[in-house]
Structure 1
Amino acid sequence: MSQPRHIAPGATYLITRRALRRHLLFRPDAAMTQLLVYALAVSARRYSIEVHALCAMSSHLHLVVTDPSGALPRFLQFFHRIVALGTKVLRKWEGPVWDHEATSVVRLLTHAAVVEKIAYVLANPVAAGLVRHAREWPGAKVEVSEIGCGELRAARPSAYFDPENPQWPEQVTLPLTLPPAIVQDSAESFRRAVAAELTWHEAQARAGMHSQGLRFLGAKGASEISPYERATSFEVLRGRNPTFAIGRDQGGAWRAAATAVRAFRASYRAALERWRAGIRTAVFPAGTWWMRIFHGVSVADVVPTAT
């Protein structure tokens, strides 16, 4: 049984989902970029999700989003479904599009974590040895300068989306918002912090490539590689899938977050045991989503704390 996921309205998350067996199905050509931006914009608007950062790699997708209304599971289900269906049509692909591993959902609990993970997302093409600078990546992405003041636009793709269906508008716009903890007055300092972190990631990646005598593939090469090939770089399989991130040098915050996660899981399991025993008055902890949506269980108003 997988661990219960705590869904808190207003929380900010790093989302990662991988293509089946690391196939390069999301190769950054124009048609795929259009599909991904369109699907994201439609899905985010449908579930009131705020998007802060995006980088669509050839074999996986990264997002940093805020979920104001606690609808993240619905958003992910809808977004990943239409991306998969559109990709199957666009690539003439038979079988699953997504890897069998669960979507990675990491809650970002501090300002430091938000800065670091947005920079990590944007630096992905450089870290993968594809381009020397994040801005050169030809796929769907967000620039640091766009966070909080830019937007992504896309016309409805011809693949999969029925123009007669009103849920697929002809044009969509996706505003790129600031994370909720960042007020407009501090937007520039936030973008500078992300840019500095991104520059550090880029420098580390270039140094690593140089030390190994490797060359960057380049934007043109990344756009022209076959989408049916697979990534060949080493990757640890079935590694840790973290629940939260707090950023560097945040030891006290890590301990508090870990305590809260343990308390939520313990309270959830106790309530689930009671519910399975037929006690339908069992109260689940705040943040319970699946049992609330599909079984209508009672949910507490506050998050449990450890004793």
Structure 2
Amino acid sequence: MGWRSIARSDRASSSLSKSSKQLLRGKTAPTLVLGSVRVHARRKNPRRREKSAPTFVLGSVRAREMCPSLSGSCPRFGPHVRQPDNGARLSKVVRQVSERRETCFERSAMTAPRPVIPGLFLFLTRRCTQRQFLLRPDDETNNAFVYCLAEAAQRFGMDVLLSQMMSNHQHTAVYDPHGREVEFREHFHKMMARSQNALRGRWENFWSSEESCVVEVMTAEDLLDKLVYIATNPVKDGLVEKVHHWPGPDFVNALLRGKSMKAHRPRHFFREEGTMPAEVALVLRLPDHFEGKTAFLEELRRRIIEVEQACARERQQTGRWVVGRRRVLRTSWRDSPTSREPRRGLRPRVAARDKWLRIATLQRNKEWQLEYQDARAKWLLGIPTVFPFGTYWLRRFASVAVKPPPERT
């Protein structure tokens, strides 16, 4: 054995004896090796205090025990949620819940709550996963999109104003008279995703994992802006020269002329003997109580023409050409845009030109969230409470008490 081997052996034995001495003296915790996983057994120190209160999970709701000294158990969730036994402890718990409500929502995986109120105009947007052209506007996709949209609107009583199916995302403007837009979006997106996956031979998620963008439209002028944006989306993106050149479903023409759009049940996914209707008709229209429908539609037509002319002048100045209808249809549905998508931007919740109306609406939503968080924190502790009007998920799945709708002045 050479002197280098002897030196390495001496260093290994000295390090081993040093670690053994530390283990015997209690300076290090013993280590267990299970397969390829090394587990360190932490020694219990009675003087060590826990940094945080215990955390427990109730279904999909994550909560934190605010006061461990409370006794009793919650009749809904069992012994893990404790209740106060006197008025002093009750006020203490409510105060602690109010102070930590925002922290609890930030640490949880759930999104910020928002009110679901009937009688609102909504602007909905959702894109395909990885920005792929999974909604390439061929004949089968056009028919499936109109069919799923019309069937979902009829099922949940939604009024569809206008929609636009682009190659990798979709925009839809709706009026929600009954407060069921969540169920409408869930059913529409689910059926469209399954139908397209069956058509494309895919098994992964069809839509992007981020939540759908739901924007509340405040006034008629704001609604007109959103409808113009939906109608002229293919023109602004440089895909076609005119709105009616887009090979997708002609929603704009159906709205302006008052014609219904018919679609047949897609054979590549739905069963012939199933419960889905064999044919559906989609009527794009403004709600019955909307005033000045004729003038509104004429103004919509005029603004669409203005956008088409403005985009044509811009192309003449820059020398750019449109992609064209044929090239759009020849694009593979596996492709995606080469441009970089902006990330980490603001996700709008309200569309309003009027600055003060927008601020007032955002303040209303903020106050609703605070009231909802207070009610939810009390409900998790087993304290009887009433949730604000507009609470959707807990009212639907947990049957919580909700305040009646406010009276309109």
Shared fold per TM-score greater than 0.5: yes
- C-alpha spacing 1:141/1:275, structure 2 compared with 1 (3 Å): farther
Which residue, 265, 269, 279 being the options, matches 2:373? 269
Q: Secondary structure at the match of 1:143?
A: helix
The AA in structure 2 aligned to 1:48 is: G
Deviations 1:43-81 (Å, cap 9, x if unpaired)?
A: 111111110001000000110011111111111111111
In structure 1, the partner of 2:187 is 78
Give the deviation of 1:254 after TM superposition.
1.3
Q: Secondary structure at the match of 1:284?
A: coil
- C-alpha spacing 1:181/1:117, structure 2 compared with 1 (3 Å): farther
TM (norm. structure 1) is 0.91
Give the deviation of 1:233 after TM superposition.
3.0
Q: Does residue 293 of the first structure (1) align with residue 396 of the second (2)?
A: yes
Give the deviation of 1:180 after TM superposition.
5.3
The AA in structure 2 aligned to 1:294 is: F
In structure 2, the partner of 1:176 is 284
Which residue, 130, 135, 138 being the options, matches 1:29? 138
Alignment of 1:167-246 (within 5 A): 168-179=276-287, 182-183=290-291, 186-246=292-352
Give the deviation of 1:148 after TM superposition.
7.9
Q: Secondary structure at the match of 2:359?
A: helix
The AA in structure 1 aligned to 2:281 is: T
Identity, in percent, stands at: 30
Separation (CA, whole Å) in 2 of partners of 1:197 and 1:272: 46
Give the conservation status (yes or no) of the 8 Å contact 1:285–1:303.
no
Separation (CA, whole Å) in 1 of partners of 2:241 and 2:142: 20
- C-alpha spacing 1:224/1:303, structure 2 compared with 1 (3 Å): farther
Tell me the C-alpha RMSD between the 2 structures: 1.8
The AA in structure 2 aligned to 1:93 is: R
Give the deviation of 1:141 after TM superposition.
3.8
- C-alpha spacing 1:277/1:92, structure 2 compared with 1 (3 Å): same
In structure 2, the partner of 1:45 is 154
Quick one: higher RCO (CA 8 Å, sep 6+), 1 or 2?
Answer: 1
Give the conservation status (yes or no) of the 8 Å contact 1:17–1:62.
yes
Give the conservation status (yes or no) of the 8 Å contact 1:144–1:194.
no
Which residue, 242, 252, 256 being the options, matches 2:360? 256
TM (norm. structure 2) is 0.69
Runs of 5+ consecutive residues of structure 1 not aligned to the other structure: none
Separation (CA, whole Å) in 2 of partners of 1:27 and 1:20: 13
- C-alpha spacing 1:71/1:194, structure 2 compared with 1 (3 Å): same
Give the conservation status (yes or no) of the 8 Å contact 1:148–1:176.
no
Work out the number of aligned pairs and report it. Answer: 298
The AA in structure 2 aligned to 1:149 is: G
In structure 2, the partner of 1:99 is 208
In structure 1, the partner of 2:174 is 65
Give the conservation status (yes or no) of the 8 Å contact 2:114–2:365.
no
Give the deviation of 1:38 after TM superposition.
0.6
Give the conservation status (yes or no) of the 8 Å contact 1:108–1:245.
yes
Give the conservation status (yes or no) of the 8 Å contact 1:107–1:245.
yes
Give the deviation of 1:241 after TM superposition.
1.2
In structure 1, the partner of 2:199 is 90
- C-alpha spacing 1:200/1:2, structure 2 compared with 1 (3 Å): farther
Rg larger for: 2
The AA in structure 2 aligned to 1:174 is: L
The AA in structure 2 aligned to 1:242 is: P
Give the deviation of 1:211 after TM superposition.
4.1
The AA in structure 2 aligned to 1:175 is: V
Which residue, 278, 283, 293 being the options, matches 2:386? 283
Give the conservation status (yes or no) of the 8 Å contact 1:111–1:181.
no
Give the deviation of 1:120 after TM superposition.
0.4
Deviations 1:12-55 (Å, cap 9, x if unpaired)?
A: 11110100010001001111000100111111111111100010
In structure 2, the partner of 1:16 is 125
Deviations 1:197-234 (Å, cap 9, x if unpaired)?
A: 32343344334444443210111211221111002234
